[in-house]
Structure 1
Amino acid sequence: MQIEFQTSVGRKRKNNQDTVGVYQNKKDITLAIVADGMGGHQAGDTASYLAVTGLGEVWEETMLTQKDEVCEWLVSHIQEENTRIFDKGSSHPEMFGMGTTIVSTVLLEKELILAHVGDSRAYIVRNQEIKQLTEDHSLVNELIKTGEISVEMAQNHPKKNILVRSIGVPGEVEVDISLINCQEKDIILLCSDGLTNMLSNEDIKLIMSNGKSLKSRVNELVEKANEAGGTDNITVLLIDFDDELQEDTP
């Protein structure tokens, strides 16, 4: 298994509110996280950083290896980060209302445990096909599900960036948990919407399946998103379940 990631400020923003991290616990079980912060000034930076490092640092001290325990841990600790971020925003006027999305995965051999809140996404590429593994917690997705707008209309909807679920809200936040059985040739993508707002699923699939090294594919996804406009911060994390290391041909 290989993991590579990269984050970019993009071409329109002055600062990067995305945070990405990869952590191992005491049993060498990997937790990978992407968070996309929201809020004025540097509040979004703070929210995403708190969520990722808060989860990661606690994970490093655990010895969890069992699926049920990991699922429970993810939900409870994302809830704790939600409270911590809300409390910090409430006590610092310059950070009031800050929040973040989060998409995270724990890798248990060939099984993937996903936990997410917001519209940062996880995808899988298998047998030359791409599938979104997470559901956006956004207003436009709710409108799509009720049939009020089409998927095509959602692409340029004026309220596209409004979330119905995020980290940093009062009370409890609902955390989506899903389990994915992975195969040797699978590639998993975690990303912020700075990638998916710029590139289609087909564009992403072609890059993820091009046979280049994992690092080259991460770089190319970020580069193509910037070439397409780079209107937001862009974060890409790829997990390759192929046991053979890939090298780029000269």
Structure 2
Amino acid sequence: MEIQFQSDIGKRRNMNQDYANVFTNQSGMYLAILADGMGGHLAGDVASKMAVDGLGAAWSTSSLSQPDKAAEWFVQEIQQVNEAIYREGTTHLEMQGMGTTIVGAALLNETFVLAHVGDSRAYLIHEGQLRQLTEDHSLVNELLKTGEITAEMAAVHPQKNVLTRSVGIAGTIKTDISEHECQSNDYLLLCSDGLTNMVSEEVILAIVTSDQSLEDKTKQLINVANEAGGADNITVLLIHFEGEARP
């Protein structure tokens, strides 16, 4: 298994509010986490870093290796992170209302457990096919599901960035959890909407399944998003399930 990730400010933003990292626990299992922060001033990047680092610290001291335990862990620890971000936002006036998306994968031998809140996505690339594993927690996706708008309308909707769920709220956070099998030569892509709003799934698939190194694929996904306009921060975390672990 090889893991590469890269984050870029894009072409139109003053700061990068995305954050990603990879962590190992006491059983040698990897946790890949990506977050896309929101909020004025420095609040968005504070929220995303708190989410990733908070989950990473908790994972590093755990020894989880079973999917059911990892699922329980995600629910518990994302709630902890949610409360910490909410407290930070209420304590510091300039950070009031800050929040973040989260998409994370606990990589457990032949399976992985996904957790997500918000509109950052996970895709599985298997035998030349790309499949979205997460469902956007967004206003536009709700309108799409109820048939009020078409996919074409969704792509250019003025409220495209309005989330129905994010981390950093008062009370209990609802986290989507799913378990998936992975096979040799599969790819798992975690990304912020700075990629998916700029680059089609067809282009993403072509890059991921090309003959380049994993690092070059990651860089090309970022470059293509910037060439398309780079309207937002762009973060790509790409995992190739092949060979020995090599983050």
- TM interval, shorter chain, is over 0.9
What's the CA shift string for 1:137-179, capped at 9, x where partnerless? 0000000111100111000001100000000011011100001
2:68 corresponding residue in structure 1:
68
Contact 2:20 2:34 (C-alpha < 8 Å) held by counterparts: yes
Question: SS of the counterpart of 2:130?
Answer: strand
In structure 2, the gaps of 5 or more residues are none
CA distance in 1: counterparts of 2:67 and 2:177, whole angstroms: 11
CA distance in 1: counterparts of 2:65 and 2:183, whole angstroms: 19
1:85 corresponding residue in structure 2:
85
In structure 1, the gaps of 5 or more residues are 246-250
CA distance in 2: counterparts of 1:86 and 1:105, whole angstroms: 23
2:207 paired with 1:213: no
1:129 offset after TM fit, Å?
1.0
Aligned length: 245
Read off the aligned partner of 1:51 and give its amino acid letter.
A
1:67 offset after TM fit, Å?
1.5
What's the CA shift string for 1:16-46, capped at 9, x where partnerless? 0000010000111000000000000100000
Residue pairs, 1:10-25, within 5 angstroms:
10-25=10-25
CA distance in 2: counterparts of 1:12 and 1:73, whole angstroms: 37
2:35 paired with 1:35: yes
1:242 offset after TM fit, Å?
2.1
Read off the aligned partner of 1:228 and give its amino acid letter.
A
CA distance in 1: counterparts of 2:66 and 2:179, whole angstroms: 13
1:162 corresponding residue in structure 2:
162
CA distance in 1: counterparts of 2:179 and 2:151, whole angstroms: 26
What's the CA shift string for 1:104-161, capped at 9, x where partnerless? 0000101010000000000011111111000000000000111100111000001100
Residue pairs, 1:99-248, within 5 angstroms:
99-243=99-243
Indicate the percent of aligned positions where both proteins have the same amino acid.
54
Read off the aligned partner of 2:178 and give its amino acid letter.
S
1:58 offset after TM fit, Å?
1.2
Contact 2:3 2:238 (C-alpha < 8 Å) held by counterparts: yes
1:248 corresponding residue in structure 2:
none
Read off the aligned partner of 1:136 and give its amino acid letter.
D
Question: SS of the counterpart of 1:144?
Answer: helix
Stretch moving more, 235-244 or 199-208: 235-244
